[in-house]
């Protein structure tokens, strides 16, 4: 054999002193081969540097060992300063690497992107599909599930038929804790910069804000945002124009809270003496903002890891994983409130 030749199953079989069929069973993870023979085959594989042909292996196992993570956003949004997606990808990637699975990252921020993802998944190129975020009544998760493809979402889908399993956090409970903290520190004119109304995270965080203020008998003041820093700046300016006497603001993301801090500084308002500010996420930016940001921590890395673990159970044929996993949030108090 020359150094240019790729080792074959036959070469491994000769080295190990077994049949080609036995080598194939060992390489494909069969547990029916005796331990001594399996060790001999694995030694031969290592000595020869044999790498299984993935296409042939997939024909045997009906598995690609690849799992897709879909980002239903535009490339501009994913590769801007939004810190949610890198954290999700990090968590998913770490868990799949441990399981020796390949992560396939796909964009689906347009109708063409949706069709591309559906064609790719239905063609059998991946064993399952995870969604990093869902906007509105996105039909793609349900469409893939109807084709028998394992699907799981980060965030509860607003609608899906059939119902699709998901991993999420306690948005409303986390926000209610933040608003109660503001009330306990004497704030009474508490505004919010809300997230997108076509995402469950935006809807539930706004509901948590409204419920906590209703519980205290205090009025609400809402400005719309889209989780970006720029929308936080614009919304904070609008809130100050609407009610110059406001003394606190809850922003539904850390980036919007950072934008609010910039707008308050621009308006000559001091944080927290004039206006207290709380965000949601606990990204690194919250620790290094001026002042350091009080925020609701959601365990984004763990969301990604849980997504991957739940998917691995499903493609392995496990019927016990729950349809919904809701992770807790935690109020992190720093200098801004």
Q: What is the pLDDT of residues 172-220, one digit of tens each?
A: 999 999 999 999 999 999 999 999 998 899 999 999 999 999 999 999 9
Regarding whether 149 and 183 lie in a shared domain, the answer is no
pTM above 0.85, yes or no: no
Strands (E), the chain: 66-71, 102-107, 128-131, 151-154, 166-169, 190-194, 222-224, 248-251, 276-281, 294-297, 324-327, 330-332
Span 314-326, pLDDT tens digits: 988 887 888 899 9
Instruction: Kindly state whether residue 269 falls inside one of the protein's structural domains.
Output: yes
Confidence category of residue 1, pLDDT binned at 50, 70, 90:
very low
Regarding whether 318 and 199 lie in a shared domain, the answer is no
Written as six digits, the tokens of 14 are: 């000769």
Residue with the larger pLDDT of the pair 280 and 137: 280
Residue with the larger pLDDT of the pair 135 and 259: 259
Average pLDDT of the chain, as a whole number: 87
Residue ranges making up the domain that contains 47: 9-61
Instruction: Kindly state whether residue 319 falls inside one of the protein's structural domains.
Output: yes
CATH number of the domain bearing residue 136:
3.40.50.2300
Task: Please report the pLDDT score of residue 2 as a whole number.
Answer: 42
3-state helix, strand, coil in the chain (%, to 5): 45, 15, 40
Instruction: Kindly state whether residue 4 falls inside one of the protein's structural domains.
Output: no
Regarding whether 205 and 157 lie in a shared domain, the answer is no
Average the pLDDT over 151-157 and give the result.
Answer: 89
Task: Please report the pLDDT score of residue 74 as a whole number.
Answer: 67
Span 45-66, pLDDT tens digits: 888 777 665 545 544 445 678 8
Among 178, 176, 118, 171, which Cα is nearest to 147's?
118
Instruction: Kindly state whether residue 96 falls inside one of the protein's structural domains.
Output: yes
| Percent residues over pLDDT 70 in the chain | 90
């Amino acid at each position: 054999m020359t150094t240019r030749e790729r080792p074959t199953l036959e070469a491994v079989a000769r080295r190990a002193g077994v049949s080609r069929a036995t080598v194939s069973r060992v390489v494909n993870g069969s547990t029916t081969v005796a331990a001594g023979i399996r060790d001999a085959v694995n030694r031969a594989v290592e000595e020869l540097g044999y790498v299984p042909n993935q296409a042939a292996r997939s024909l045997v196992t009906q598995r690609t060992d690849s799992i897709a993570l879909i980002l239903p956003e535009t490339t501009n949004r994913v590769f801007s300063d939004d810190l949610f997606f890198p954290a999700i990808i990090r968590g998913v990637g770490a868990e799949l690497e441990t399981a020796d699975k390949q992560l396939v990252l796909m964009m689906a921020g347009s109708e063409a992107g949706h069709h591309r993802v559906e064609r790719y998944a239905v063609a059998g190129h991946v064993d399952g599909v995870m969604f990093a975020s869902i906007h509105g009544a996105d039909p793609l998760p349900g469409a893939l599930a109807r084709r028998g493809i394992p699907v799981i979402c980060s965030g509860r889908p607003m609608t899906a038929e059939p119902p699709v399993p998901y991993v999420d956090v306690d948005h409303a409970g986390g926000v209610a804790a933040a608003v109660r903290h503001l009330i306990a520190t004497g704030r009474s004119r508490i505004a919010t910069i809300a997230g997108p109304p076509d995402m469950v995270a935006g809807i539930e965080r706004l509901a948590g804000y409204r419920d906590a203020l209703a519980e205290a008998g205090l009025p609400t003041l809402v400005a719309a945002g889209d989780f970006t820093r720029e929308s936080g700046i614009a919304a904070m300016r609008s809130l100050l124009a609407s009610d110059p006497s406001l003394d606190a603001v809850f922003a539904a993301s850390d980036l919007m809270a950072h934008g609010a801090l910039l707008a308050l500084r621009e308006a000559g308002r001091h944080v927290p003496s004039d206006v207290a500010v709380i965000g949601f996420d606990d990204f690194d930016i919250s620790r290094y903002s001026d002042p350091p940001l009080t925020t609701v921590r959601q365990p984004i890395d763990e969301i990604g890891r849980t997504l991957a673990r739940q998917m691995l159970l499903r493609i392995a044929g496990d019927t016990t994983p729950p349809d919904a996993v809701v992770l807790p949030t935690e109020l992190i108090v720093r200098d801004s409130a």
